[in-house]
Amino acid sequence: MNIDLVRDIKSDIKVEFLDKASLKENKRYKKLKKAGFKAEQDSICFLHEKSILACGIEDNTTDNIRSVCSVAIKALKSSNYKSASFDVDTKNIKAIIEGVVLGGYEFNEYKSKPTKSKLKNIYLACGNIDKLKDSFQEAIVVAEATCFTRDIVNTTPEDLNPPSFAKLAKKLAKSNNLKCNILGEKALKKEKMNSMLAVGRASVHESKLIHLTYKPKSPKKVISLIGKGLTYDSGGLSLKPATSMVTMKMDKAGGCAVLGIMKAVSELKLDVEVHAFIGAVENMVSGDAYKPDDVLVSRSGTTIEVRNTDAEGRLVLCDVLDYAQDKIDADYMFDFATLTGACMVALGQYTTGMMGHSTKIKHAFMMKAAQDSGELIGHLPFNGHLKKLLKSGIADTSNISSKPYGGAITAGLFLDKFIREENKDKWMHFDIAGSAYTETPWDCNVYGGTGAGVRFMSSFLKDIK
């Protein structure tokens, strides 16, 4: 499907947005009313004889436009129309592109007979192409990077394991002119990344640390992005129940988001230096598996009592965070991880949990990025009392909390132990356990990986001063 920005075009069908007030004033009001169309949010109505697809919106916000476009594109793709057009302006162009590209996304890699759509061309019609050209290009790049992330998340654990993840990162580096450094287990041992290595020990696939660099000539800021890349999380010896294990191919979504952000940043040619660090590991069972009761000596020297091998993401991230802080003196450090089921309990399925010390990053930068991108972010507050729950009788810290409440926050507080004093105000942790994957469509997300993190982080990086 092609999407073009055009001045004026005759398409097979034109998409129009209507709210309740504008419906009554519309010249086709009678026909639409007869068809039962009430302009309710996310309702659509074809007027075939007029070549119109009416789309209901509650009011003219970008969230509403994106949402109804996601409904419209699915209907258009299963119709016999070959082309469709939308009137665009500076306010709605991004939302329309997101709705069309992300709402129309399909992952057909494992379908033997994927359904073919007749829809070939989407025309975005506007009076002044020059005025909208940049917004058009930017929205397309970010939406495609989000789809790239979704594709990786959706790939099966058989096909996407730590070595093939590293290969994919190398391929992106080659096509997008990024520097790429991959550490295998021998190098990880040398780096003393024993905590990360323990998690991957039972897997037949070698653990990999992926480091990609995007470095423009005179960057305004330096950013480190750290991603949890658990290509499969069986829980390890603290094995997950069968029903909780299904979908755990998505436990690499943090790493996939980081790759997607690198793709977007390099294609938008942003004026920031960005480093991606991905801990690609598989959490499995075998005679060689790491065990509850083990004490691990992490890269930073902090010793960790393993009380649950299913709290493995933090054991990978603590070493990757420590490595990243040694390698790069960043202005900002952001980690993305499907870290806890508890985050979903706290915020619901669709919202990313944000934790960290800097009020400015949280409340000024990230809330704006969330608003601008349409992603949902909720803040979970750290507090010293919860920190005590990570105490261990035998090591410096336990890998789990002693109480069942506030699990997303205690996981964030565990990571905080590995953030050096001078970096506390530069770091933010994003728990995307609820937002990275969905089995029921919502907004512009369809079944599978959502690409959570790519849109809001691209938005933040684009606006950096």
Question: HSE of 322 in the Cβ direction (CA atoms, 13 Å)?
Answer: 23
Q: What is the DSSP letter of 453?
A: T
In the shown chain, the binding pattern of residues 259 to 288 toward ligand BES, with x for contact by CB under 6 A and - for none, equals ------------------------------
Stretch that binds ligand BES, among 108-116, 339-347, 385-393, 438-446 (CB under 6 A): 339-347
The structure tokens 């933040």 sit at 460
CB proximity list for 134: less than 8 A, separation 6 or greater: none
- Shortest distance in whole angstroms from residue 314 CB to ligand BES: 8
Q: What is the DSSP string of 151-208?
A: HHHHS-TTTS-HHHHHHHHHHHHHHHT-EEEEE-HHHHHHTT-HHHHHHHTTSSSPPE
335 sits near ligand BES (criterion: CB under 6 A): no
Q: Which neighbouring-strand residues pair with 222?
A: 273
Residue 17 burial (10 A CB sphere; 0-12, 13-18, 19+): buried
Nearest alpha-carbon partner for 278 in 144, 163, 198: 163
| Cα–Cα nearest to 88, from 30, 147, 139 | 139
Binder to ligand BES among 85, 340, 373, 435 (CB under 6 A)? 340
Known catalytic membership, residue 179: no
Shortest spacing between CB 310 and Zn ion, in angstroms: 4
| 340 close to 226: Cβ distance less than 8 angstroms | no
User: In the complex, what is the shortest distance from the CB of residue 235 to Zn ion, in angstroms, rounded to a whole number?
Assistant: 5
Q: Which of 16, 98, 144, 251 binds Zn ion (CB under 5 A)?
A: 251
Per CB under 6 A, the segment of 139-147, 267-275, 285-293, 332-340 that binds ligand BES is 332-340
Least gap, CB of 427 to ligand BES (angstroms): 20
Q: Is the distance from CB of 130 to CB of 12 less than 8 angstroms? A: no
Site string for Zn ion, 273-312 (x = CB under 5 A): -------------------------------------x-x
| Ramachandran angles phi, psi of 324, nearest 5° | -60, -40
Q: How far apart are alpha carbons 251 and 432 in whole angstroms?
A: 10
The entry of ligand BES, Zn ion, none near residue 308 (CB within 5 to 8 angstroms by kind) is ligand BES
Q: Under rule CB under 6 A, which residues in 186-205 are in contact with ligand BES?
A: none
- Please give the Cα distance from 5 to 128 (Å, whole number): 10
Q: What x/- string results for residues 301 through 330 when contact with ligand BES is judged by CB under 6 A?
A: -------x-xxxx-----------------
Choose, by CB under 6 A, the member of 149, 224, 300, 338 that binds ligand BES.
338
The active-site residue out of 50, 74, 240, 368 is 240
- Number of residues in contact with ligand BES under rule CB under 6 A: 15
Separation between Cα atoms, residue 154 and residue 447, nearest integer Å? 9
Residues contacting residue 360 through CB under 8 Å, at least 6 positions apart: none
Residue numbers 214-233 binding Zn ion by CB under 5 A: 230, 233
- Taking the least distance from each CB to Zn ion, the nearer of 272 and 432 is 432
Please choose which of Zn ion, ligand BES, none residue 319 contacts, taking the beta carbon within 5 to 8 angstroms, the exact cut-off set by kind.
none
Site string for Zn ion, 230-249 (x = CB under 5 A): x--x----------------
Determine whether 240 is an active site residue.
yes
Q: Which does 69 bind (CB under 5 to 8 A by kind): Zn ion, ligand BES, none?
A: none
For residue 85, give the H/E element and its range.
Answer: strand 83-87
- Measured CA to CA in angstroms, residue 188 lies from 33, 200, 299 at distances of 66, 11, 10
Tokens of 142: 């970010």
Name the residue nearer to ligand BES (CB basis): 23 or 245. Answer: 245
3-class SS shares of the chain: helix, strand, coil, % to 5: 40, 20, 40
Least distance to ligand BES, CB of residue 434, Å: 7
Q: What is the closest distance, in whole angstroms, from the C-beta atom of residue 227 to ligand BES in the complex?
A: 13
Query: Looking at the annotation, which residues are catalytic?
Result: 240, 314
* Residues within the interface to Zn ion (CB under 5 A): 230, 233, 251, 310, 312-313
* Residues within the interface to ligand BES (CB under 6 A): 233, 251, 308, 310-313, 338-342, 400, 407, 433
